[in-house]
Structure 1
């Protein structure tokens, strides 16, 4: 991947992550959420192991030293985030879910303010307000009546919880980037996440009333999410970030809902409605606004 231009790598990653939302929605009636998440990460672990094995032996003492952080990474980034998204996709559209995923940078700013005591500047506050207005527009379908009665889709609310957990994961990765090696830490996080998911998968298997449909579609979904959306997208994104820089690369995350919306309309027949367009534009505007630098004028 080192020969591929960084912009291409970042776009490949966002295409694959955009597809993850649509795949989750497409097999919502075939695979229960914990089943899909569990098998996804099992496939990812198996595929990633030969790639990472040599580095893992070398870097294991460094990872072991920060075992508590790795446990939190496994819980938030592997066991929780995608599983909650898959649960949410039983109730909401892949377009809604991917649009609200854009809140991540804004929530990271908020978490940094509360837990790391980092100050929020004027642009970050304005951008946060704009983004949350966008999210309210999306989850209410632009309906004043829905706002008055707080009758929101529970799937949308679950996605917001998932995004908060993913923001915690992202913030920890950023904070410990110099102390924890990226690829091997991700591998160990996958292993931790699988262990955490196992009892929920077993419980779901014996209690769900949903009939699991093992078909070419469901198997493709597991392989796609386990190999392409997990390993290939992760390596492509990290390589692109190293080449281009984290700040410039972060803008490309806004392509995820674009690709997710295109795939949702083409492949699973979802319809893009006006409130999603308006809400999505507000969220994007807010995210860009939070990233603007404060400029001062000389009097």
Structure 2
């Protein structure tokens, strides 16, 4: 890969991890205005509408029929399953800790990439991945399940299941629809995923109160247009250009940004464990990236 292309990919990684990190704070606070499923329906409905409008303006044709079933599967996995589980769990789990648990995703993605994509994990990449995972557990605390209320433990487990679903989606994308443009994939998988979320919202929260004001509309627009439409399109571009292990390890930056924003905006505690874990994650990403460049 040319040096200029590498720089573009690294810049995209930094941008999407920064936006996703900030989005965690908004996702948590949005629960004061509406139910978790309702917010997700508005968020991804906005994201899907934005992407489909771009597709229409650019006069991009519909995907060939053979891809539709795969786009439905990706939408149900990456959009419906991941964010229904995460948003429900956010009612019980801190935003910072939630972001940490979801980004155990690189571990699951790496295992699936070896098994189903034939990728190889070099010793340096494995070192970087393990440092990142150790960093995650250092942040949340190795005793995170000790003395916790049952609903918090259930919420944490739901987020880990969401991380596995995201990892499966990444692998499924590479095996089935990587031949499509990233804009097509992002638009249509988000459209199908939004249908799943909307159905869940109508069933579970159909009669609940929804508060629309400047703040809640900002949350919907930011998470829908930037953190969803823009970031997931960029994400599909990244995982189509570089190996799964390197791409997913970079997402370990999201919890660091999420914890930083949570500390500044929500007053959540920034402990020594958080700082130590963050250092381990950054070190792991550096080791994995340097290894990739040398190879």
Q: Which runs of 5+ in 2 are unaligned?
A: none
Aligned to 1:85: 86
The aligned residue for residue 29 of structure 2 is 26
- Say whether 1:258 aligns with 2:256: yes
8 Å CA contact retained: 2:186, 2:229: no
The number of residues matched between the two structures is: 287
The 5-angstrom pairing of residues 3-18 of structure 1 reads: 7-18=10-21
The Cα shift of 1:78 comes to: 1.1
TM-score by length of 1: 0.77
Contact 2:67 2:177 in 1 (8 A): no
- Alpha-carbon RMSD across the aligned residues, in angstroms, is 3.8
Report the secondary structure of 2:180's partner residue: coil
Is the deviation greater in 238-247 or in 124-133? Answer: 238-247
- Cα 1:287–1:153 shift into 2, 3 Å: farther
Structure 1 contact 106–287 (Cα < 8 Å) conserved:
no
Cα gap change, 1:148 to 1:35, in 2 (>3 Å)? closer
User: Are residue 70 (structure 1) and residue 68 (structure 2) matched?
Assistant: no
Q: How far did residue 38 of structure 1 move?
A: 0.6
1:106 is the counterpart of 2:104: no
**How far apart in 2 are the matches of 1:254 and 1:129?**
11
2:42 maps to 39
CA distance in structure 2 between the aligned counterparts of 1:143 and 1:245, rounded to whole angstroms: 33
| Aligned-partner Cα distance in 1 for 2:286–2:277 | 14
- Counterpart in the other structure of 1:160: 160
Instruction: Give the alignment of 1:105-254 within 5 angstroms.
Output: 105-115=106-116, 131-139=132-140, 141-143=141-143, 146=146, 153-176=153-176, 178-206=178-206, 211-236=209-234, 252-254=250-252
Q: Which runs of 5+ in 1 are unaligned?
A: 295-299
Query: Deviation digits for residues 227-267 of structure 1, max 9, x if unmatched?
Result: 11112334455667789998776564333223222221222
Find the structure with the greater CA-based Rg: 1
